[in-house]
Homo-oligomer: A and B are copies of this chain.
């Protein structure tokens, strides 16, 4: 006979798993009627609490913590974070866990805040995102005594479980797509170079383009509309023989902003130059022409991060490789005339 779970009781009582859990643990939040009905059903089905789950729940805060040193504007506009966040939230909901979330000014503020949360036992674990080059959190956080899980382009060590994204390999995919189409003068429009993933992407971009005897330029931006417009004007002002024939853009939002800015200064994509983005989203399919982009399942990435953290409770830290990306080829990198693609 299969084990009776609170799911079985919830189904029979016609209430949620949480309501059953509250009723059986004698906690507030359900009506007296529901409490009695749930207990009657639990008794009739001969339900017994799962000891391990019970032991876990008694010492658990029921929440993971996440502090983000990002502006609210970036958060609202960037589809990367939202897709990742959706995956994190879905997996947390399955585990009946909440997320304690706060936006902070900087990494120092984040370190202090996470210290407070850990000290007050408000979280069972912490998720780290947006790792920096020489990130101060890597030294400070392991001392907090709560499990840590990070998404980063290299294993972090120091007891931090890492979901490793191969940013160099991802960049290579996109650059080779452009090299195959004859491009040799390439520009990479990045976010702030202090981010570890941006640093990995810059290294890989430069290496790949130079291996093909191409000219690699890096242009750092803050992802804003203003930055996209400035870059479009800079490119338009160059003599044709010095212009990049292809631009790799760090994310989908900046790519879309660049597309709009390029059309305003009279540059044709892909006729005058090709554009490709490091993150795909609905946005990339809606521009004219649609933008070639690297696709990955960010929702799954978020869920894997939660699983890594969950396993870190009572277990050893571990590293895991994120799923590979695939290239989604669209019209923004289509072959046009011989002149454009050989960069003459």
Contacts and interface: CB of A to CB of B under 8 A. Distances in A.
B72 A109 contact: no
Interface of A: 15-19, 22, 27-30, 63, 71-73, 75-77, 79, 82-83, 85-87, 89-90, 92-93, 97-106, 108-109, 111-119, 122, 144, 256, 282-283, 286-288, 299
5 contacts: A16-B109, A28-B115, A29-B116, A30-B115, A76-B85
B99 A100 contact: yes
Given A22-B116, A119-B29, A288-B288, A16 B108 contact: yes
Given A89-B101, A90-B103, A283-B282, A27 B75 contact: no
Nearest to A90: B72
Contacts of A82: 75-77, 82
B83 A118 contact: no
A102 to B, nearest CB: 4
Nearest to A287: B286
Contacts of A282: 77, 256, 283
A299 B72 contact: yes
B16 A76 contact: no
Given A76-B82, A119-B27, A282-B256, A104 B112 contact: no
Contact of A105 (B16, B71, B104, B111): B16
Contacts of A103: 89-90, 92-93
B99 A101 contact: yes
A75 B89 contact: yes
Given A16-B109, A28-B118, A75-B89, 5 more contacts: A16-B108, A19-B112, A30-B115, A75-B82, A76-B299
